[in-house]
Chain A
Amino acid sequence: MRYFTRKVGFYVLALWGAVTLNFFLPRFIPGNPVEVLLARMTESGNPPPGEYKVLSSVLGIGGGNLLDQYWHYLRQLSRLNLGVSITEFPTPVTHILAQTLPWTIVLVGTATVIAFLIGTTLGALAGWRRSRFLNNLLPVTTFLTATPYFWLALVFLYIFGVVLHYLPLNGGYDPTLDIGWSSSFIVSALQHSVLPGATIVLAQLGGWMLSMRNMTLTTLSEDYVWAAEAKGIRPRRVLLGYAARNAILPSVTGFAISLGFVVSGSIIMEIVFSYPGIGYTLLQAVQNDDYALMQGIFLVICLVVLGANFLVDMLYGFIDPRTRQAR
């Protein structure tokens, strides 16, 4: 139990650190970002009243001393008021995040999990049986992983979208449909997710497979696996309960890291496929000098990285009891 309280304490501290860092970041923007933002807003229409104050607090550069500014920043944050975006003026930043984040998390998150599951399973089998098929597959998957992702994505887009017309070229859904839980919308969203999802899976699969195969080979030479065989335990159980069970431990840490990168790592994919997720939004925010939106996205990225690591840390405590004891 002490392990868990300690971990929770650590993450609360890390969260505070991330939020505070976010407070200081806009100070490095040349000039007065609030003025820039307001100037841009007035170009597209009338900013809501009091927006100057909100923006200053959110960007952490309002009036008063530093402590006052910090306090205001935290207050706005706790009300989930991150200002309005100029990219889609005058939509509140929180609103944009709420719209785009699910697309990214569902697609990239699912793809990451699938890549991990398939890659790890294939890797364990490749190490366990030394099957010729799986070990011949390994160079192929490793090649796909080593290929720059945007290139892989473009090749797939070209073959399946442009040449074969099997799948839609871009977007996250058919824009002629209303967003909602209708079946036609869901089918359209699924169709649009196949190419981006498949390319992510293919790009990540090889890494998981290679590391799991190597770890399985290492684990197989451990005495406890051999001892399990000496005990006449069934091969299936030896694989699942001893060899793969222990070989997966390092991969779990890697999995935490890649879950944390679901949001930030999806940027290239979303640009290639013009996918309506948070990475694509970040690109637009940068192009438009939309500091408030950028600030909001950075905050989300921090939260996701922390959240994923927290989740896996908790999980790790269960799957490797030794960590619970480690100081």
Chain B
Amino acid sequence: MRVQPAAQTGAEGRNDAVLRASHISVEYGGTVPTRAVRDVSIELHRGEMLGIAGESGCGKSTLAYALTRLLRPPAVMTEGQVLFCGRDGAAPIDIMQLEPEALRRFRWTVVSMVFQSAMNSLNPVISLRRQFSDIFEAHVPEMDREARDRRSRELLEMVGIDPSRLGGFPHELSGGMRQRVGIAMALALQPEIVIMDEPTTALDVVVQREILLEIARLRRELGFSVIFITHDLPMLVDLSDRLAVMYAGEIVERAPAEWVGGRPAHPYTLGLQAACPDLLGERRALQGIPGSPPDLRQRLRGCAFAPRCQYVFGPCADIHPVLSPLAPPAAAVIESVLDRDGGKTSKLNDWAVACHLHDRTANPAGPPDELAGDPLGTGGLVPPAVGAGLGVDPTGRPARGQDQL
């Protein structure tokens, strides 16, 4: 059995990507195709939890399933490449080029999933034993009946379910238990990546919390990477290492989670934060973003968020903002702060936003305080020590150029 190293984060993680997706576009066919994912590039680092947030209908699930070639008709991936980089410096696997049998073997051994509705993703009429066995029979044919049974019990125990449930059926379990079974199945073959598509959305808050703690514990013990999808941004901030916010099929902001938790840079992220109750902390006032996401069948001109954005100004209606690294001086502030913070500077490249407010040519005044980006959560006030560095970049680093994936 493979042994997974503990999760790695930070500087070395920067170049250690397990999954690298570039320029993914997905359409749902129809008389007018729905462009559900629009030229998204994203990278999952080894051992990290990458959160994807956004209102429902923004293309989160579609993106996740595109990454694993699990799109169902009428969805078609019109463009994009997904590379899986195994350990030991093996050549990256181009997932889109895998032949059917190779793809079948790749699935679940390398990337597994936890689905939103465990009730619907488990077969209601065959026993859990059979459903676990099917996984082992498909991928580890040398396991005999007894070994499969033993491993299944072990997995159930690992997620806190009485192994005697193995002979039972999904309808005999509560919602939380079913989701635990779903997690146990996802971990059956010790995959490197687990994609979780709203795994707790259908559960009540108490069970939701239990499941999240369980996931965190398993991740500490087994060290797999996670793509975690939810519409609940505060939950992601608490849970994940980095997060990406999706709107209208695009990533509009991407940053290390705790920074966005402090102060996001995109108006949509700010709105999302206000719209959700904080799962672990105190409840915030629920003030949703007025309006709803656009119809993705349309051609979107300018910024897709413009009709709902309270900061909308000149270029927003016509010019499409592209995801680019957060502009100075905020970036300079961050860099200086982080240099003092002990070499976390490399994370900097990860804060990117698609909003004209951060474009110095379009908006020379710079973003308003609440969107300035604030890695330390200081409430928009630049700490004195850092303030001294403003204007003159203390690190002497040149402004960064192209956004990296």
Contact = CB atoms under 8 A, between A and B. Distances in A.
A299 interface: no
B120 A230 contact: no
A205 to B, nearest CB: 26
Contacts of A233: 134-135, 137-138
B134 A322 contact: no
Contacts of A249: 125
A231 B70 contact: no
Interface in B294-347: none
Contact of A231 (B72, B126, B130, B138): B138
A246 to B, nearest CB: 6
Interface stretch (A14-22, A51-59, A237-245, A264-272): A237-245
A232 B139 contact: yes
B135 A231 contact: yes
Contacts of A226: 70, 72, 121
B95 to A, nearest CB: 13
Q: Number of contact residues on B: which range applies? A: 20 to 34
A234 interface: yes
A320 B185 contact: no
B112 A231 contact: yes
Contacts of A222: 120
Nearest to B122: A224
B108 A319 contact: no
B124 A241 contact: no
Nearest to B116: A223
Interface centre among A223, A234, A237, A320 (most CB of B within 10 A): A223
A241 B134 contact: yes
A64 B138 CA distance: 72
Given A231-B108, A232-B105, A321-B169, A245 B120 contact: no
A242 B108 contact: no
B284 interface: no
A323 to B, nearest CB: 10
A322 B70 contact: no
Given A232-B107, A234-B104, A246 B123 contact: yes
Contact of A325 (B109, B121, B139, B171): B171
Nearest to B121: A227
Contacts of B106: 232
A241 B126 contact: yes
Interface in B73-114: 103-109, 112-113
A224 B120 contact: yes
B109 A230 contact: no
A325 B171 CA distance: 9
A228 interface: yes
A68 interface: no
Contacts of B72: 221, 226
Contact of A224 (B121, B139, B171, B172): B121
Nearest to B110: A232
Contact of A321 (B113, B122, B125): B125
A124 to B, nearest CB: 16
A229 interface: yes
B229 to A, nearest CB: 15
Contact of B109 (A229, A232, A246): A232
A234 B133 CA distance: 13
A225 to B, nearest CB: 8
B107 A237 contact: no
B22 interface: no
B41 interface: no
A112 B185 CA distance: 41
Contact of B70 (A230, A241, A321): A230
Given A230-B70, A231-B107, A237 B134 contact: yes
Contacts of B107: 229-232
A320 B126 CA distance: 8
Interface centre among B121, B122, B130 (most CB of A within 10 A): B121
A104 to B, nearest CB: 34
A217 to B, nearest CB: 12
A319 B105 contact: no
Interface in B119-172: 120-127, 130, 134-135, 137-139, 169, 171-172
B137 A237 contact: yes
B120 A246 contact: no
Given A241-B134, A321-B169, A231 B123 contact: no
A234 B138 contact: yes
A322 B171 contact: yes
A208 to B, nearest CB: 20
A56 B70 CA distance: 72
A197 to B, nearest CB: 33
Interface centre among A230, A234, A237 (most CB of B within 10 A): A230
B228 interface: no
B124 A230 contact: no
Interface centre among B70, B127, B130 (most CB of A within 10 A): B70
B68 interface: yes
B31 to A, nearest CB: 21
B138 A245 contact: no
B115 interface: yes
Interface centre among A224, A228, A320 (most CB of B within 10 A): A224
Contacts of B130: 241
Interface in A105-121: none
Contacts of A221: 72
B8 interface: no
B112 to A, nearest CB: 7
Nearest to A322: B171
Contact of A246 (B103, B125, B139, B185): B125
13 contacts: A222-B120, A223-B115, A224-B122, A227-B115, A228-B134, A230-B113, A231-B135, A232-B103, A232-B104, A233-B137, A237-B134, A237-B138, A246-B123
Given A226-B72, A232-B105, A246-B124, 5 more contacts: A226-B121, A230-B107, A232-B109, A321-B171, A322-B171
Query: Shortest 6 CB-CB distances between A and B: which pairs?
Result: A232-B107, A223-B120, A227-B121, A224-B123, A232-B108, A233-B138
Interface of B: 68, 70, 72, 103-109, 112-113, 115, 117, 120-127, 130, 134-135, 137-139, 169, 171-172, 185
